[in-house]
Amino acid sequence: MTSGLAKTRRIVPYIGMAATVILLVAAFVLGLVSFGKMRQVITEEFNQQQLVLAKNLSALIRQDLDFLRRELMVLNSSPSIQFSESPSWRSRMKVTMDSIQGEELLEIWRWESLDKYSSVMDRTGGVRAERWPFDEEGLAKWARDGANRNKIMMASVPKTAAGKYGGRPLLLMAVPTYQVSPDEAHASPPGRFAGALAFLLDASAVASRFVDQARSGTTGYAWVIDGEGTFLAHPKHEFIGRNAFMARHEEFPSLGFERINEIMRDKMLTGQEGTGEYVSGWHRDEAGPVEKLIAYAPVEVHSAPPRLFWSVAVVAPTSEVHGLVRSLFMRQFFTQAAIFLAILAGAFSVLRLERYWGNLQKQKEREINLSSRLAALGTLSAGVAHEINNPIAIILGFTDLLLEKIPEGAEGHEQLKIIERQGLACKKIVENLSRFARIPEQRDETSDMNEEVKRVVAMVQNTLLTEKIICKTELQEGLPRVMGDPQGLGQVLLNLITNARAAMKNGGVLTIGTRQAGDFAELWVQDTGSGIRKQDLGHIFDPFFTTKAPGEGTGLGLSISHGIIERAGGTMTVQSRHEEEAASEPSGTTFTVRLPVADKTREDA
């Protein structure tokens, strides 16, 4: 019997090894079967990420065009432009030209209704007189139509008219001019038609501003075509201004480009978004057939008839994704092999460790049971302390009143003293119960409030500029360190700035300041946005409460920020005036964060 048992024990390791080999082979076979499916899933997921990037690039280009439209309307509202006040109209146009950075704005055209010539200002600030070269009759007819008042016309400039600009793709943005803005010389403007104002834009510069820096994966890139299939942005700069269908064929006549031509013709040039695959003749510096993944999204340049749109494409070679899949497959295989070998090695020690783990498990169960009972006792203690404290206070109060009426030595005085002593003993017990139930706060870390403000402002400065939000800081020098971890303070500040941006959709002023108030340091964030309604002020720190539209917020940001400040021993308050309740006063919101100043010992630490 003993011999048979020993023999069985010797055979067990070999059985385990054989089972491990069988499991490894089975895992490898299953991995091969799932390899194709995994590659398909990861390829689709990668292309979806490219589609997200394409949509983001589309949104950035639309925001840039919206900014240019606003600048055109602001310039058109100037009395000096409407009444041809010389030389102030030149200065006003020069200010607009200088305020638009980059090479997007080539010229500003100002056409008066009674003149055949337009006043044209270029990037240098020089002004010349020139006949309108882009369908002069069509522009005049459109501008004189009263139905187009305060509307913007956008159109691509024909290549025949763009020759003097080096053949670059051009975009026209025009608006009728009416004499409606009063000034000192025209207190009551007549409101009559006065001509038109136009921006001549380099469409390639507008499209390339964000697209040139876009990256998908390791070597992927983005390009843009207009509604006629002309390249507006592409890493191969010689393609810009050329028809996308012809440029590829002329560069690599041996390839058919059927798939990418079909995608452009049936999808991109019809304003659709989507993903796909195609074969290209190059990728960056690599020549030859290259399989690529593509995601594309439309850019709505002008929504009014005639509709004008571009299309952004983000592409990357499929080899990057397939190489990643192969790497993941091999990593998974070797991981499984290591796990099975570890299981085999662990089999020899299972019997020896079984009793140890059993005892350890019992010990852990006892500890968990004890922790649960302590937690329940803490909750019960808090409730008991709350319920008993008020009756004890009443008993002690009436005892004190009776002691004042009964002199010392009189009958009943000693009994009242006994009641008082026992009541105080009960009060002490209640205080101990409350202390037991209370969870101490951890406030060991300190932060430099000014440095956190500078860091977060530097991080969001570019975003604020694109949204026409002016950011001002008023930081008190020599501000001592405060309690709370820097990451938490930065999270709170970033959340307050995000909320301020959402409240200032049309731009505004964001002011961030710090100051010391006794043993506290204050951080305040003030915006000139739409403000918060009075009935909502009492709920803004509640979890999941939000005043934003569905899908734009979770309602957790302020709740989490409020919790971070409270855990650091501070407070967060808000003052706001909603635009509907502001009357003659400006609307806006101010959040104030107060944190205790750290003592010298913790500052040195």
Least confident of 214-218, 386-390, 587-591: 386-390
Confidence band for 435, pLDDT divided at 50, 70 and 90: very low
Residues 231-246: tens digit of each pLDDT: 999 998 889 989 999 9
The pLDDT value recorded for residue 537 is 84
Quote the domain boundaries for residue 548: 446-604
Final residue of a domain: which of 357, 376, 395? 376
269 and 147 in a common domain? yes
Least confident of 213-222, 362-371, 379-388, 390-399: 362-371
- Whether residue 473 is contained in a domain is answered as yes
Q: What is the mean pLDDT of residues 345-374?
A: 61
**Nearby residues of 113 by Cβ (< 8 Å), 6 or more positions away:** 144, 193, 194, 195
181 and 38 in a common domain? yes
- Whether residue 59 is contained in a domain is answered as yes
Residue 339 identity (one-letter amino acid): I
Question: Does the pLDDT of residue 52 top 70, yes or no?
Answer: yes
Question: What string of DSSP letters covers 463-483?
Answer: HHHHTTEEEEEEEPTTPPPEE
Question: Does the pLDDT of residue 370 top 60, yes or no?
Answer: no
Q: What is the mean pLDDT of residues 528-555?
A: 74
470 and 325 in a common domain? no
450 and 368 in a common domain? no
Considering only CA atoms, which of 261, 269, 268, 260 is closest in space to residue 292?
260
Question: Does the pLDDT of residue 574 top 60, yes or no?
Answer: yes
Overall domain count for the chain = 2
Residues 280-336: tens digit of each pLDDT: 888 877 777 889 999 999 999 998 887 899 999 999 998 887 776 666 666 766 676
Query: What are the tokens at 205?
Result: 């510069």
Considering only CA atoms, which of 399, 589, 414, 581 is closest in space to residue 502?
589
- Whether residue 384 is contained in a domain is answered as no
453 and 355 in a common domain? no
User: Helices 2-76 and 318-405: crossing angle, nearest 10°?
Assistant: 90
The span from the CA of 530 to the CA of 582, in Å, is 10
The span from the CA of 555 to the CA of 501, in Å, is 16
The pLDDT value recorded for residue 601 is 47
147 and 54 in a common domain? yes
Least confident of 440-444, 536-540, 586-590: 440-444
- How does strand 231-233 pair with strand 446-447? unpaired
Residue 248 identity (one-letter amino acid): R
Final residue of a domain: which of 376, 395, 424? 376
305 and 226 in a common domain? yes
Query: What size, in residues, is the chain?
Result: 605
The span from the CA of 581 to the CA of 534, in Å, is 9
Final residue of a domain: which of 376, 407, 422? 376
272 and 178 in a common domain? yes
Question: Does the pLDDT of residue 207 top 50, yes or no?
Answer: yes
352 and 263 in a common domain? yes
- Whether residue 508 is contained in a domain is answered as yes
The pLDDT value recorded for residue 396 is 82
Higher pLDDT pick, 78 / 287: 78
Residues 8-51: tens digit of each pLDDT: 555 555 565 666 667 667 766 666 666 667 778 888 888 999 99
Q: What is the mean pLDDT of residues 399-425?
A: 81
User: Helices 88-99 and 2-76: crossing angle, nearest 10°?
Assistant: 170
- Whether residue 264 is contained in a domain is answered as yes
358 and 450 in a common domain? no
The span from the CA of 327 to the CA of 324, in Å, is 5
Question: Does the pLDDT of residue 6 top 50, yes or no?
Answer: no
Residues 387-403: tens digit of each pLDDT: 777 788 888 888 888 88
The pLDDT value recorded for residue 353 is 63
- Whether residue 4 is contained in a domain is answered as no
- Whether residue 218 is contained in a domain is answered as yes
- Whether residue 419 is contained in a domain is answered as no
Instruction: Give me the CATH number covering residue 568.
Output: 3.30.565.10
Question: Does the pLDDT of residue 374 top 50, yes or no?
Answer: no
573 beta partners:
592
504 and 367 in a common domain? no
452 and 328 in a common domain? no
In 271-408, alpha helices (H): 318-405
The pLDDT value recorded for residue 2 is 46
